[in-house]
Amino acid sequence: AAKTGYEAVVKLLLDRGSNLESKDKIYSRTPLSWAAQNGNVAVVKLLLDRGSNLEPKDNDGRTPLLWATEYEREKVVKLLLATGKVDADSKDKYGCTPVSCAVQRGNEAIVKLLLATGKVNINSKDVYGRTPLYYAAKRGDKAIVKLL
């Protein structure tokens, strides 16, 4: 229900005692992770209001913030960052951070949001030794190169 954005169903399930932190059996992802990926803002707000863990990592070490960044869900990224409780520089098992992911997508708005936290390492390297600046230059993205 969280994945598909059925806010009323998510609320009902939570009201009836469903586990806020339940993880699926295949990817080990929580409702917040799925809602963040799919840009379901109302469900993300509901889960945050209910005290959902902001940093659950799935099988690949990805957090809800990383999923929201990967799928360019700017409103969700703003919501998660506004809590002040997310690690804006978390790495997945490949060394990908939210800022490197946003740079690879060419999403200047999300890059700005992440940089504004003052909590990201723009020189962070992934498992291939590549930095966000490398990815911006590879894309020929002058605006993001200037930001970095």
Q: Region 54-59: what's the mean pLDDT?
A: 97
**pLDDT higher than 90, residue 42:** yes
Say yes or no to pLDDT of 1 above 90: no
Q: What's the CATH architecture for 88-148?
A: Alpha Horseshoe (1.25)
Mean pLDDT of the chain, nearest integer: 96
What does the DSSP assignment read for the chain? -TTTT-HHHHHHHHHTT--TT---TTT---HHHHHHHTT-HHHHHHHHHTT--S----TT---HHHHHHHTT-HHHHHHHHHTS-S-TT---TT---HHHHHHHHT-HHHHHHHHHTT---TT---TTS--HHHHHHHHT-HHHHHH-
CATH superfamily of 1-83: Ankyrin repeat-containing domain (1.25.40.20)
The answer to whether the predicted template modeling score (pTM) of the entire model surpasses 0.75 is yes
What are the structural domain ranges in the chain? Answer: 1-83, 88-148
